[in-house]
Structure 1
Amino acid sequence: MHADVRAGAIACTLFALTHAFYIPGVSYKAYRDGDVLPLLVNKVYSDQSELQYAYTELPFVCPPTGRVRAGRFTSGASLSLNLGEVLRGDRITVSDYELNMGTDDEAHFLCSKTVNKEGLKRTRELIRDGYVAEWIVDNLPGATSFQTTDKTRRYYAAGFKIGEEVIASPGAPPQYFLYNHLTLVIRYRLAPGRDGEQGKKVVVGFEVFPKSVEAENRDKDGLPNKDSLAGEKKLELVAKSNTTDGADENEDASLEIPFTYSVYFRKEEKLEWKNRWDMYFVVADDSTNIHWFAIINSIVIAGLLSAVVAVILARTIQGDISDDGKIKSRSARGPHTPRRLRDKSSGLLSDLEGDVDLDDDDDDDALEDVTGWKLVHGDVFRPPPHGSLLAPLIGSGIQLLLMTATLLLLSALGILNPSFRGGYVSVGTGLFIAAGLFSGYFSSRIYATYGGTAWQQNILITASLVPGLLFATTLVLNLFVWVQASSTAIPFSTLLALLALWLFIQLPLVYVGGRHGFVRAGAYAQPIKANAVPRAIPRQSWGQRTGQAVLLSGGIPFVVMFIELMFVLKNLWMDKSGFYYVFGFLGVVVGILVVTVVEVSIVATYVLLCSENYNWPWHSFFVGASSAAWIFAYLVYYFFSKLHISGFISGMLFFSYGALACGVYGLGMGTVAFFSAWWFVGRIYGAIKVD
């Protein structure tokens, strides 16, 4: 009976999860002729600024009146948003625009808005900075329609401009015109299955064609005549006084702006509902060859590294280990150190910095077999300096890696996609919190391995490291963004909710995993017990020093992901209205990147041990994380050479978010490198015997 109850509960949970996500080609909303389609307004954004603004809070926008009703939607109502939508700056509100399925409306008056001098100045600034508006119909963003260069295909760019800046002649002051008439084109087709047989329709496209129309030559209802709509006279944003016809600099100067719109429904037979998002990805599809080039480039580099690692594992190490794999421990030989042949011609012997058991008759042959990595076998498993800090870093890295791998998998399967607005951040946050269980487990075991005893303190540090850094940085940045009245600012209530998630969900999960890892699982077994007294590390050459070796090693993973990185940055910072959707390519590149980091870590660790330096744990971690420094350096170059972001706050947001992203990436790749070196060191030293 209990088994049946559990099975039923699991089935219900899975059923609920399937309805929590949008599955392409499965869930859709069908409309009958005459049904109201709610038009939702969201925000405005620009590729020249990191600040976004809620559309309804702009000075020129008509306030909603509540006259439009569609089911549970009423104009003026704000929609409930998920965590991801709030964090990405969405502020979705039902508008007064009236759209009835299948009913065209050639001209419809919305409102007449009086904008004061300050509001006009603000509107001109938004137009100057290239802000575009995001509207939504049936979960599709309003799009500007374009054609490919060969004019064979049409594609969409999400959003539409709110106005235009015109410079009549060189040296002349710019003129600003507001788009106050919008032509909305809704493309539809019959719904699939029985709904289509009943005449229901589904939306497959939403296009917006904005136009600036003069305020004069209108009828009593505020509608422009056909000549005005077809003419070239535009609405310039110039404040006017009530007593004059020209521009006026008085404080009471203002401009009355009439807003109108047209609605047209057009049948689209060539585009199926399940493929309606493809229109936003036509340009991305054209870059498929470049994605393949990036993958081939990454495979070649990873293949060369694989050959180097194969040589190290199959030839060098096997040649270094003697036939019986036997190394005499220091405790068996006494407190003195073995001898090294300093001058064969004179027969003088000096101390040998190693622990190899040598017979007097075979000193010369045995000494020739001694290599650097075998000399440090008694210290290679010694707890590293500040190991209590390394353990939380590794635990947090495990947490981030699990979250990232699951997100890539869900995205590649299509469960997470652009139609699930805010889904990446919302699901990612949930996955990060759930992965806290594994974070605490691995952090505690590594902490115990390095001799730590205050495991509860280690758990608190592990649970607070990444969330604390993100929360503190966001809080400081919000102080600047709040002043700008931007929707980019996270509401205080959301900050409290995030704090509650950390305190009541993640912290207990990290504690449960950490307690199990420290108390029950315990420390990892080490092949060789560390000597009581650490040996001196010889002076390292320039190329073997940690700083130089780490920096050079980080360049290889950066080269592997460089091309795909350009696509990601282009979608994040330049084409903010676009959607990065080629997660299959991204997953392959990330997989090759992980393999590359593993191989670079093994090679770097082997070179370090051969130089008789046994401080490999921190070294391997920094080797993996160092490519983050290359990425941030490229971000600096990208900001000044490719982007057009202006303003102190926008620049601060760019570099702050970029630094956080690089830090998170470095933490994940550092963890990969650490465990790779851990496996490698255990492998080679587990192959030798110590008396």
Structure 2
Amino acid sequence: MKSLNPRFIFLLSLTVVSSSLGFYLPGLAPVSFCEKEDAKECQKDIQLFVNRLDSVESVLPYEYDAFDFCKDTDERRPSENLGQVLFGERIETSPYKFTFKSDKACVKVCTKSYDAGSKEDKLKLDFLKKGMELNYQHHWIVDNMPVTWCYIVEGNQKVCNPGFPIGCLVNQEGKPKDACVINADFNKKNAYYIFNHVDITIFYHSGDETNGMSARLVAATLEPRRSDFHSNDDKPTCDGTPMDIPAEFKNNLKVTYTYSIQFKQNDDIRWASRWDYILVSMPHTNIQWFSIMNSLVIVLFLSGMVAMIMLRTLHKDIARYNQMDQEEAQEESGWKQVHGDVFRPPRMGMLLSVFLGQGTQVFIMTFITLFLACLGFLSPANRGALMTCSVVLWVLLGTPAGYVSARLYKTFGGENWKTNVLLTAFLCPGIVFVDFFLMNLILWVEGSSAAIPFGTLVAILALWFGISVPLTFVGAYFGFKKPGIEPPVRTNQIPRQIPQQSFFTKPVPGIIMGGILPFGCIFIQLFFILNSIWSHQMYYMFGFLFLVFIILLITCSEATVLLCYFHLCAEDYHWWWRSFLTSGFTAVYLFVYAVHYFFSKLQIIGVASTILYFGYTLIMVLIFFIFTGTIGFFACFLFVNKIYSVLKVD
């Protein structure tokens, strides 16, 4: 039986909603085009938008205007949501404007002149060369659809990349780098070749005249190349041998930017599935599907084995214990003998309760976000929606964070409720914000488009202090009003001495072992998530991500419960922090994998990019640590309460 395709779920839900209720998801409403513009039905002008430029060799993205490209005289910036701003997207209009079904060849956009005696021109050209050296990529948008560069790779496989390079470099040894390998004419040593001409092809669905539906754009591709512009009043041409830009700027230089546009009818692609040609052709897609399914089968099998062992062992253990007399029971050893100490409040209960409150907030936020993404509401076509949804949910979920933290702190016997609620509201968010602010300072200094504007930072602080903090106080108020969670057995006044532990039942080895299985079920997805963040690939498999999320919950819970049971059998009753750290240690494996990914998969160079990578990685690790630790703690908490509630203890 074939698994449900997340794109199919998204398109099905979109079709049902649009047909029954008569509206479209934000950012996904279709636009009709025609040769003669009708203000009510269709439009004939097509505007090409440009986004920020990025590179796999640098974490620093830059705005289109940072480079000396042709600029739109009537530049406009569409309104951007919070997620787009946080991700560093900077969309603006471009001078590339087309008319529907109007093919044109070698259209001049502008000419950039560089004077060898001008320091300003030298700086502009040097920055352009740096962009080509680091393989910075354009990202163009037509009708909310990325303009893709399609090429053939090994195995005669067609790959479409939602971006194309500024240019390329042939080094001093005469070895072409990056895109320069596609053309044998790029053969001068120590020279730069800028792609100043693009052949654009726009595919459209002709529509249905019987229903009065006009044409709609379904695909947009381009072919970048370097060409010389020969001005002719009748027939300008963009042919000739590619002109190189020498590494040393000694002579005056002119670069003319041109384009050719062609419209092709394609009724095989429907508007609702126009993103498929990008998603299906992405590299390693087939490997990803197979690897995810293989990982799911292995993790489900292991989880089933753990559950079966735990259920059978505990069932027999409890049944045998309840059949004994109390005198015989006193001679028993193991988890039954620590019933008077197992609910003894932990050390640093304040910090543990704060982590658990924040973890609850992150868990609910993640669950709702992934569920909405799985249904297609946060698809790649709805730019910035994923991050916007996450931030808004986190802000609104301050109440459960305050409630859980206060209730558990009261269960631990804590009385300093003011400190508890303040730490819940400010500790973890404060660490994240300080790290984020320091990274933003580096982006400001480097002039990157990813730097968050001051106004946005103020807005984030307003959301935090104006909404999240008050809601956290409200949750803490209701949490402290209720009594603490009553344990099923009484706690002895004198702590029981813990016997000598074997190597595997000591805290550190158990915690280290506890994170292996949960990490094993996510590392494949983690690879593609890191690719989408740092290698600028498009991530769209939210259906499988949601399944992996559920399996992560199950695996963290079962691994923590299993190790907790072994420690209790060894008469070690310090399970509070250990249950949190056992599953939370998965975050350490995540960090180790991120370090491996940095050195083995990425080509990032530069101190600033390295600091930014590890700075943002630490934020991810902290959030993941709190999230997984919370899952393990509550699973173990429910388990311990359950097994000790069935004991016949006076």
TM-score by length of 2: 0.88
Provide the residue aligned with 1:7 in structure 2: none
Counterparts of 2:201 and 2:557, CA distance in 1:
52
SS at structure 1 position matched to 2:97: coil
Provide the residue aligned with 2:413 in structure 1: 451
Q: Tell me: CA distance 1:304–1:562, structure 2 relative to 1, closer, same or farther (3 Å).
A: farther
Q: CA deviation at 1:154?
A: 5.0
Counterparts of 1:481 and 1:57, CA distance in 2:
14
Q: CA deviation at 1:571?
A: 2.7
Task: Identify which of 349, 354, 367 aligns with 1:405.
Answer: 367
Conserved in 1, the CA contact under 8 Å of 2:137 and 2:164?
yes
RMSD between superposed Cα atoms in Å: 2.4
Matches within 5 A, 1:241-260: 248=250, 254-260=252-258
Unpaired runs of at least 5, structure 2: 1-19, 37-43, 115-120, 176-187
Aligned residue type for 1:190: S
Q: Deviations over 1:575-597 (max 9, x none)?
A: x1x22111111111221121111
Q: Deviations over 1:77-121 (max 9, x none)?
A: 122211100011111111121111111121221111224122211
Aligned residue type for 1:271: I
Provide the residue aligned with 2:216 in structure 1: 202
Unpaired runs of at least 5, structure 1: 1-14, 67-75, 240-246, 327-356, 359-364
Conserved in 2, the CA contact under 8 Å of 1:302 and 1:596?
yes
Q: Tell me: CA distance 1:168–1:477, structure 2 relative to 1, closer, same or farther (3 Å).
A: closer
Q: CA deviation at 1:526?
A: 1.1
Q: Tell me: CA distance 1:16–1:629, structure 2 relative to 1, closer, same or farther (3 Å).
A: farther
Provide the residue aligned with 1:502 in structure 2: 464
Q: CA deviation at 1:374?
A: 1.8
Provide the residue aligned with 1:378 in structure 2: 340
Q: After the TM superposition, which of the residue ranges 139-148 and 267-276 deviates more from structure 2?
A: 139-148
Counterparts of 2:434 and 2:596, CA distance in 1:
27
Q: Tell me: CA distance 1:645–1:317, structure 2 relative to 1, closer, same or farther (3 Å).
A: farther
SS at structure 2 position matched to 1:96: strand
Residue 56 of structure 1 pairs with residue 56 of structure 2 = no
Residue 274 of structure 1 pairs with residue 289 of structure 2 = no
Aligned residue type for 1:625: G
Task: Identify which of 391, 414, 417 aligns with 2:376.
Answer: 414
Conserved in 1, the CA contact under 8 Å of 2:204 and 2:216?
yes
Provide the residue aligned with 1:299 in structure 2: 300
SS at structure 2 position matched to 1:286: helix
Task: Identify which of 524, 528, 546 aligns with 2:507.
Answer: 546
Q: Deviations over 1:142-161 (max 9, x none)?
A: 1112357665x755210111
Conserved in 1, the CA contact under 8 Å of 2:56 and 2:603?
yes
Residue 640 of structure 1 pairs with residue 604 of structure 2 = no
Q: Tell me: CA distance 1:294–1:377, structure 2 relative to 1, closer, same or farther (3 Å).
A: same
Q: CA deviation at 1:448?
A: 1.1
Provide the residue aligned with 1:182 in structure 2: 198
Conserved in 1, the CA contact under 8 Å of 2:358 and 2:424?
yes
SS at structure 2 position matched to 1:517: helix
Aligned residue type for 2:480: F
Q: CA deviation at 1:689?
A: 2.7
Q: CA deviation at 1:609?
A: 1.3
Conserved in 1, the CA contact under 8 Å of 2:335 and 2:569?
yes
Conserved in 2, the CA contact under 8 Å of 1:21 and 1:416?
no
Q: CA deviation at 1:20?
A: 5.7
SS at structure 2 position matched to 1:50: strand
Counterparts of 1:416 and 1:317, CA distance in 2:
48
Task: Identify which of 42, 54, 65 aligns with 1:45.
Answer: 54
Conserved in 2, the CA contact under 8 Å of 1:396 and 1:466?
yes
Counterparts of 1:603 and 1:297, CA distance in 2:
18
Aligned residue type for 1:219: N
Task: Identify which of 23, 32, 36 aligns with 2:45.
Answer: 36
Aligned residue type for 2:215: K
Residue 157 of structure 1 pairs with residue 161 of structure 2 = yes
Q: CA deviation at 1:224?
A: 4.7
Provide the residue aligned with 1:10 in structure 2: none
Alignment length (residue pairs): 603
Provide the residue aligned with 1:264 in structure 2: 262
Q: Tell me: CA distance 1:20–1:199, structure 2 relative to 1, closer, same or farther (3 Å).
A: closer
Residue 659 of structure 1 pairs with residue 593 of structure 2 = no
SS at structure 2 position matched to 1:532: coil
Counterparts of 1:481 and 1:205, CA distance in 2:
34
Q: Tell me: CA distance 1:16–1:483, structure 2 relative to 1, closer, same or farther (3 Å).
A: farther
Matches within 5 A, 1:427-466: 427-466=389-428
Provide the residue aligned with 1:314 in structure 2: 315
Counterparts of 1:518 and 1:298, CA distance in 2:
39
Residue 532 of structure 1 pairs with residue 505 of structure 2 = no
Q: Deviations over 1:417-450 (max 9, x none)?
A: 0001111100111111122221111111111111
SS at structure 2 position matched to 1:110: strand
Residue 218 of structure 1 pairs with residue 220 of structure 2 = no
Task: Report which of the two structures shows the higher radius of gyration computed on alpha carbons.
Answer: 1
Aligned residue type for 1:174: N
Conserved in 1, the CA contact under 8 Å of 2:161 and 2:278?
yes
Q: Tell me: CA distance 1:504–1:378, structure 2 relative to 1, closer, same or farther (3 Å).
A: same
Provide the residue aligned with 1:99 in structure 2: 98
Q: After the TM superposition, which of the residue ranges 176-185 and 556-565 deviates more from structure 2?
A: 556-565
Task: Identify which of 138, 143, 163 aligns with 1:133.
Answer: 138
Provide the residue aligned with 1:72 in structure 2: none
Q: Deviations over 1:18-51 (max 9, x none)?
A: 756356xxx3111222511111111101111111
SS at structure 1 position matched to 2:98: coil
